[in-house]
């Protein structure tokens, strides 16, 4: 019997070729170990992931608590009449340009300041009604001040639902005196306005043809029954410019090389220039009052309303706290708190520069409170009290 023979060779016990891997005991096992394993989902390379900046910034999965609608937006209790409200709105239309880290060079700052100075001091009636808590008393006071010659009402037809705008009489007189009109035209126009303080139109018999033409070219009068304005000359043919010699519709049908192909005689004069070829005034009815550069203000107002509604539409229920909506309007710029100042001192990134945001690039620094008041007055949004996180803003479905 050989000494090399042992029971290990004859038994059924066999050693494993590889040592078993380390296994945890059942008591220390993960609670998720019993769940079935699945392979990770493979995303298609044809559809890349959207960047985080384009995702919806909705931090609230449910509707905000509504304690009650805010009747008046103005926090200043000294506002008691319409003239004070007009000055209040005009003084708070734009935010001041930041002293440091504005993100704008001197040329852009000068452009912003010049654009602000060129706008007429108009205030919509909707905005005044949003500040003061009694629309009926506001309308009554506007009628009384108009008849007394304290304010002037400018009707803005078919311009984004803006309706009526107001201007103080002394501001209107200053604009007329500062214009490039001849002094006799200024005196006659001012005398006509003061004699008819509540008139929204001026008949053609009250002005001579030369004076009326000069006032129209200066932007103080428009033809109330004409189907065109000086801005319609460069718009689409179907937008009210079909009846003019300079409309694209009539030019396209004119023979090549003819006078009509270039707009006809006096085309520059009809479009607001100084051609001097037109013998008669456009339109056949009365004149409507207007203000120079009022179109720029109304366009700015319309675009600001649309942008605020688009920011509010990022939320699921088209409502958001006022603080969040204000931050979205500002574009996430750096704040003025102590923490942001400390990070800026250390050279760390503290937010987007104001000059890089849409608020300053497109809207020239319009304040959030101003555009919110315009939207509330126009019936586009409503402000309500949440009872816990301040005021909320909700879009009104139409």
Closest CA to 98 of 305, 356, 348, 370: 356
Closest CA to 63 of 398, 378, 388: 388
For residue 347, is pLDDT > 70?
Answer: no
Give the gyration radius of the chain's Cα atoms: 34
Q: How far is 217 from 264, CA to CA, in rounded Å?
A: 19
Residue environment code for 202-217, b if the CB has 16+ CB neighbours within 10 A, otherwise e: beeebbeeebbbbbbb
- 225: which DSSP letter? S
Phi and psi torsions of 40, nearest 5°: -65, 145
pLDDT of residue 119: 94
Q: How far is 328 from 18, CA to CA, in rounded Å?
A: 62
Find the mean pLDDT for residues 244-251.
49
For residue 20, is pLDDT > 90?
Answer: no
Which carries the bigger pLDDT value, residue 224 or residue 388? Answer: 388
Q: Enter the tokens of residue 160.
A: 């984004």
For Cα atoms 20, 23, 25, give the angle at the middle one, nearest 5 degrees: 140
For residue range 179-221, what is the model confidence (pLDDT) as tens digits? Answer: 999 999 999 999 999 999 988 888 888 888 899 999 999 999 9
pLDDT of residue 271: 47
pLDDT band for position 140 (cuts 50, 70, 90): very high
End-to-end alpha-carbon separation of the chain, Å?
A: 105
Residue 265: is it exposed, middle or buried by C-beta count within 10 angstroms (0-12/13-18/19+)?
A: middle
Cβ neighbors of 381 (< 8 A, separation 6 or more) are: 308, 309, 312, 372, 375, 393, 394, 395, 396
Q: How far is 247 from 239, CA to CA, in rounded Å?
A: 10
pLDDT band for position 356 (cuts 50, 70, 90): confident
For residue range 81-124, what is the model confidence (pLDDT) as tens digits? Answer: 899 999 999 999 999 998 877 889 999 999 999 999 999 999 99
pLDDT of residue 67: 84
Closest CA to 218 of 190, 176, 252, 167: 176
Contact predicate 151/167, CB 8 Å:
yes
pLDDT of residue 13: 56
pLDDT band for position 387 (cuts 50, 70, 90): confident
What are the Cα distances from residue 63, in Å, to 316, 319, 393? 9, 8, 11
- 170: which DSSP letter? H
Q: Where are the domains of the chain?
A: 59-70+298-395, 82-292
Q: Enter the tokens of residue 376.
A: 């509330």
Question: What's CA 127's distance to the chain center, in Å?
Answer: 14
pLDDT band for position 47 (cuts 50, 70, 90): very low
Q: Which residues pair with 222 in a beta bridge?
A: 288
Contact predicate 212/204, CB 8 Å:
yes
Which carries the bigger pLDDT value, residue 113 or residue 44? Answer: 113
Q: How far is 356 from 102, CA to CA, in rounded Å?
A: 9
Contact predicate 124/162, CB 8 Å:
yes
For residue 260, is pLDDT > 70?
Answer: no
Phi and psi torsions of 84, nearest 5°: -65, -40
Residue 264 region by backbone torsions, left for phi larger than 0, else alpha for psi between -120 and 50, else beta: left
Instruction: Considering the domain delimited by 59-70+298-395, tell me its CATH architecture.
Output: Orthogonal Bundle (1.10)
């Amino acid at each position: 019997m050989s000494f090399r023979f042992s029971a290990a060779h004859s038994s059924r016990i066999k050693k494993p070729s590889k040592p078993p891997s380390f296994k945890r005991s059942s008591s220390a096992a993960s609670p998720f170990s019993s769940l079935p394993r699945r392979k990770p989902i493979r995303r298609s390379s044809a559809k890349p992931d959207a960047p985080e900046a384009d995702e919806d910034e909705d931090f609230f999965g449910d509707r905000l608590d509504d304690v009650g609608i805010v009747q008046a937006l103005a926090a200043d209790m000294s506002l008691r009449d319409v003239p004070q409200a007009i000055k209040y709105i005009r003084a708070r239309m734009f935010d001041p340009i930041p002293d440091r880290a504005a993100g704008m060079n001197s040329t852009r700052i000068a452009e912003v300041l010049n654009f602000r100075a060129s706008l007429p001091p108009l205030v919509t009636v909707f905005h005044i009604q949003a500040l003061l808590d009694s629309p009926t008393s506001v309308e009554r006071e506007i009628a009384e001040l108009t008849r007394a010659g304290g304010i002037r009402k400018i009707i803005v037809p078919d311009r984004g639902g803006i309706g009526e705008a107001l201007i103080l009489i002394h501001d209107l007189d200053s604009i007329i005196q500062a214009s490039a009109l001849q002094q006799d035209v200024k005196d006659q126009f001012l005398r006509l306005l003061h004699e008819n303080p509540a008139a929204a139109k001026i008949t053609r018999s009250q002005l001579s043809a030369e004076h009326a033409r000069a006032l129209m070219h200066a932007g103080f009068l428009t033809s109330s029954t004409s189907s065109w304005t000086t801005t319609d000359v460069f718009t689409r043919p179907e937008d009210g410019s079909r009846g003019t010699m300079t409309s694209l519709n009539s030019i396209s049908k004119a023979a090549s090389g003819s006078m009509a192909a270039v707009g006809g005689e006096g085309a520059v004069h009809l479009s607001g220039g100084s051609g001097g070829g037109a013998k008669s005034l456009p339109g056949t009815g009365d004149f409507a009052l207007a203000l120079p550069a009022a179109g720029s203000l109304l366009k700015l107002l319309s675009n600001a309303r649309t942008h605020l509604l688009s920011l509010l539409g990022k939320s699921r229920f088209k409502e958001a706290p006022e603080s969040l909506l204000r931050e979205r309007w500002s574009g996430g710029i750096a704040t003025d708190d102590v923490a942001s100042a400390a990070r800026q001192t250390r050279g760390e990134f503290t937010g987007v520069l104001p000059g890089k945001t849409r608020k300053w690039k497109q809207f020239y620094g319009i304040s959030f409170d101003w555009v919110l008041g315009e939207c509330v007055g126009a019936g586009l949004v409503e402000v309500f009290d949440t009872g816990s996180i301040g005021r909320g803003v909700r879009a009104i479905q139409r």
